[in-house]
Structure 1
């Protein structure tokens, strides 16, 4: 992918960690100039209260060969997002790729509880983080993107449209609504952008080996398989780089518009564009969840990696 996005300007909103960090890195590896926004910097943390920072992500982009600009932005504050758009316009005069990776709501999840037993403040915060922040971001940044044909908007989510067509039992109502909203955001944005020859999709990784997930299991990316003793189905997990490569490949595809309005996955894009995860495999996480994990079969990635 090196050089395929040379001259392109990308903005990864919520690029502090996880899938969004890897997407920013891979866009940079392909030659893009990448703006990385989020709330956690080396001076202050967001409510997520993790050590990863937007400056760290920018360093990874540069190490991969791209240019990076880290800017602290709370995307729920319209004035901060307006100022961000004005800065990108002043510095670049364009925006070619917008990745809405905004979230930060896992701490409010209240796994498996009915809505009346959850914290109302936490439930509404998830909706704000997963929906409102995305709409605010699109409102201010899409006027830059539509200046040129070929722009791409990627709404990050959790789960394919098919998987989320049924309620995700064991999660929670506000989490489900916030994540399923990405499918509809992609549909609506695709229609809005069509007259400008721009594309909008939703994108989901599979079972992501994010920094938080690795910490949860007490492992690292190097020894992640040690977590299988505690969680056997983690055998289907994928590195953040996998979905990073998915977005980078899509952004470099001159015919990406054929996917507009759809929800795509890292596994689908790997088959489409021929890339692999960092270990050389091609995990097909969502099919595995349907055919193995959700029906109670023993963990076995054979045929799914």
Structure 2
């Protein structure tokens, strides 16, 4: 797939073994050695996994969020902290640096970028995984018309899911473009194709489509710098919050299928994270992905990635074909 390709940290014209090639293709240890990454919104879920997998591939990863061991955000999950994420990054083989940051506060984001500049001199990978609005959805948003949704909750969703992304990109991009091959990853819910259907509520629909357009627009701007901007989405994400919702653990998650048969196609946060780490290690990523939206399943197919259980689930495909499309099929057909 990448015959005779070299990375920024390899020696030109060296012999490339099959093992070397596989390492670069799948984002395995060492493929991102020397790279500097920022995962904005890395407290839990996909953000934490993304930080860990970038670290496993050798990167130095700055991890941000609002919940620390001393402070809990409005999400209200005090046992999940950015310090834990940073420690997990380091344990995986990278270097994790936790920086408490509210990405709606321009001063805090500016200070974060200045710190990365001071300590590293550049930024190679920016992952915008900012959200934290799940607590506003059930009861307040889902199942309600826009005019029935409390306006304060709707606007907060746009703050958390759109404004935070714009603020972070605006302040971090001048540092990111110093990289020889800058990469911006916008994490959202749904691809452009999947999100042609209405996403349940106006505010949620706007919040989850905006990152797709951000990646498209910034892809145009980053192209002259050899950069890549891509929007990525998991399928049915088996996050900590979702596991808690069903009263199961990562080890017993299939017990939840009795309550929700669709959960049978669920994927761990590491499925998306492994796929993005492979994308980050791909020297041809700009030609393949710039300006596009894609899913964990599509990336996994391209890069030969599998989830922690060895499967390759396609949650969006299952939802589009079976749940919304009426085609026959089961979750196991899409694993």
Q: TM-score range by the shorter chain?
A: over 0.9
SS in structure 2 at match of 1:71: strand
| Alignment partner of 1:47 out of 74, 97, 101 | 74
Report the aligned-residue RMSD: 1.1
Whether the aligned pair in 2 keeps the contact of 1:233 and 1:299 (CA below 8 Å) is: no
SS in structure 2 at match of 1:271: helix
| Corresponding residue number in structure 2 for 1:271 | 301
Name structure 2 gaps, 5 residues minimum.
1-27
How many residues of Structure 1 are paired with residues of Structure 2 in the alignment?
303
| Corresponding residue number in structure 2 for 1:115 | 146
1:57–1:299 CA distance, 2 compared to 1 (3 A): farther
Moved more, 87-96 or 142-151: 142-151
Name structure 1 gaps, 5 residues minimum.
none
Whether the aligned pair in 1 keeps the contact of 2:235 and 2:266 (CA below 8 Å) is: yes
| Alignment partner of 1:225 out of 250, 254, 262 | 254
Whether the aligned pair in 1 keeps the contact of 2:265 and 2:332 (CA below 8 Å) is: no
Task: Report the alpha carbon displacement of residue 60 of structure 1 after superposing the two structures with TM.
Answer: 1.0
Which of 1 and 2 has greater Rg? 2
Q: Deviations over 1:99-137 (max 9, x none)?
A: 000001111122110011111111001101111111110
Q: Deviations over 1:263-285 (max 9, x none)?
A: 01100011000010000000011
Task: Report the alpha carbon displacement of residue 83 of structure 1 after superposing the two structures with TM.
Answer: 0.4
Q: How does 1:89-100 map to 2 (within 5 A)?
A: 89-100=117-128
SS in structure 1 at match of 2:63: strand
| Alignment partner of 2:180 out of 126, 129, 149 | 149
| Corresponding residue number in structure 2 for 1:63 | 91
Alignment of 1:285 with 2:315, yes or no, is: yes
Name the CA distance, whole Å, in 2 between partners of 1:206 and 1:219: 19
| Corresponding residue number in structure 2 for 1:245 | 274
Name the CA distance, whole Å, in 1 between partners of 2:190 and 2:113: 29
SS in structure 1 at match of 2:67: coil
Name the CA distance, whole Å, in 2 between partners of 1:148 and 1:229: 48
Task: Report the alpha carbon displacement of residue 299 of structure 1 after superposing the two structures with TM.
Answer: 6.6
Name the CA distance, whole Å, in 1 between partners of 2:118 and 2:38: 14
Task: Report the alpha carbon displacement of residue 208 of structure 1 after superposing the two structures with TM.
Answer: 0.3
Task: Report the alpha carbon displacement of residue 298 of structure 1 after superposing the two structures with TM.
Answer: 7.3
TM-score (norm 1): 0.97
Name the CA distance, whole Å, in 2 between partners of 1:231 and 1:140: 41
Name the CA distance, whole Å, in 1 between partners of 2:75 and 2:332: 35
Q: How does 1:124-143 map to 2 (within 5 A)?
A: 124-143=155-174
Q: How does 1:76-91 map to 2 (within 5 A)?
A: 76-91=104-119
Name the CA distance, whole Å, in 2 between partners of 1:106 and 1:173: 15
Whether the aligned pair in 2 keeps the contact of 1:232 and 1:299 (CA below 8 Å) is: no
